[in-house]
Structure 1
């Protein structure tokens, strides 16, 4: 499993309905993409946290400093990831927004939560640096154990744990039903659409 994300930061006065329309008309194109575990179409809006729906910003629990389109991917195969990056899908992003930095992490663990059957409305992203004094193997083992426990919380649809061994950073991306994400889970995003052709094949628990 490979995790991947790029962040397209937009002007403060950008009309985010443009992104919503983009996802509404194009999001389905990856619903059957070979090699893709899942793609969460994520946005956050300046001054607003995610809400139950785009029309109810008062339900937001935390503010975003930026307008941003930040899709998150879990790839079941490297071939699928390569096919997307070097194909027309990613080229469409480059054509419309310029070429973003593509962040990627090695997958450590994937878990389905108690709300796995629900449509996610909110996502949280937490990054945790690994200190130089911490043995990497022990840190990863502890993180995987903690991730399995945290994924059993009410409202969790699915959660992925990954690591960037270049910067020694752990990443946790969790999808939540509705706006049920706890306030202290890190950066919060709205989920506009979920493409999940290979979600069932991501397995459960630690990736080998």
Structure 2
């Protein structure tokens, strides 16, 4: 599994209805994209759920690198580049994935937490702790799915969860996003549990 996200931060007075319309009219285009486990079309609005910014920030879980590469080098990502400029694409190696207690529900909220692995901490210990927390999280009411991933270049841990409700469980703390649409053509191919 590969996790990927890009963030498009928009002006404070930007009409976020434009993003909602974009997703409503184009979101379905990836509903059958090969190699795509999950794409959550995410948005944050300034002043809503503690967000300091207006932001469009799609999040992807790829079943393998081929699908991610086909998207990045194909017309899908070029549409983002044409409309917003070329954003920096963040990506992480998958460490764990799980379906939650609300796996059959439509996600309404997503929570993302990015945290550095401190220099004095063994990487395996940090990933082990994050994976143990992930295993507890997927058992919480309202969790649709959750993932843990690592950027070994920047030594950053990522925890991402999709939630059926409007609020997050206590141990899903992080940046809160609205989920506008979810494409999940190969969600069943995302391997459950640890990825090592």
TM-score, normalised to structure 1, is: 0.91
Hey, what does 1:28 align to over in structure 2? 28
Determine the structure 2 residue equivalent to 1:207.
195
Contact 1:46 1:67 in 2 (8 A): yes
Report how many aligned residue pairs link the two structures: 195
Tell me the equivalent position of 2:143: 156
User: Deviation per CA, 1:80-132, whole angstroms, max 9, x where unpaired?
Assistant: 10100010000000000000000000000001100001000000011121111
What's 1:65 paired with?
52
Q: Secondary structure at the match of 1:149?
A: helix
Extract unaligned runs of 5+ from structure 2: none
The answer to whether residue 78 in structure 2 is matched with residue 91 in structure 1 is yes
* Aligned counterpart in structure 2 of residue 173 of structure 1, from 139, 160, 167: 160
- State the distance in 1 between where 2:85 and 2:127 align: 35
Structure 1 vs Structure 2 CA RMSD: 1.1
- Corresponding residue for 1:60? none
SS of residue paired to 2:185: coil
CA distance in structure 2 between the partners assigned to 1:114 and 1:180 by the alignment: 15
Distance 1:33 1:113 in 2: 23
Secondary structure of residue in 1 paired with 2:76: helix
User: Which residue is 1:103 aligned to?
Assistant: 90
- 8 Å contact kept, 1:155–1:180: no
Question: Are the equivalent residues in 1 in contact too, given 2:140–2:169 (CA < 8 A)?
Answer: no
Partner Cα distance (1:22, 1:143) in 2: 34
Structure 1 stretches of 4+ moved >6 Å: none
Matched, 1:43 2:40: no
- Aligned partners of 1:157 and 1:175 also within 8 Å: yes
Indicate if the aligned counterparts of 1:122 and 1:178 stay in contact, CA closer than 8 A.
yes
